[in-house]
Amino acid sequence: MDPQLSVTDNEFLRQFELQVEGELAKIEYASQDRKIFLTKLEMSETLKEKGYLEPFIEKVLDIIKEREIRVMPTSPSIARFMRKNRRKYKGLLPVGINI
């Protein structure tokens, strides 16, 4: 697995995309008031088994952190990842929101 995953923000379709091994993984989002709602994650079981899920989520959260906006993880997979890595990503949550 390539540690330098190339994640792009397809603003037209409102989704972060990862093209890897001939497949497209994506995290759909909605933006509102300096917050981004990560609503849906789509990735094949094959890519998940190869270990791409967590690096993909991590890369997306790093992009959001650089933009200095808050995250509302409404996708269960992303909320689970953030809960597991609470210390690293707690600062991305809006004030008063716990996961």
- The tens digit of pLDDT for each residue in 30-66 reads 999 889 999 999 999 999 999 999 999 999 999 999 9
Task: Kindly provide the residue ranges of all beta strands, DSSP E only, lying in the chain, ordered along the sequence.
Answer: 7-10, 15-20, 23-32, 35-42, 70-73
pTM here?
0.92
Task: Specify the pLDDT at position 1.
Answer: 46
Q: Which residue(s) pair with 93 in the sheet?
A: none
Overall average pLDDT of the 80-93 stretch: 93
Tokens read off for 34: 């300096």
The pLDDT confidence band at residue 8, using thresholds 50, 70 and 90, is very high
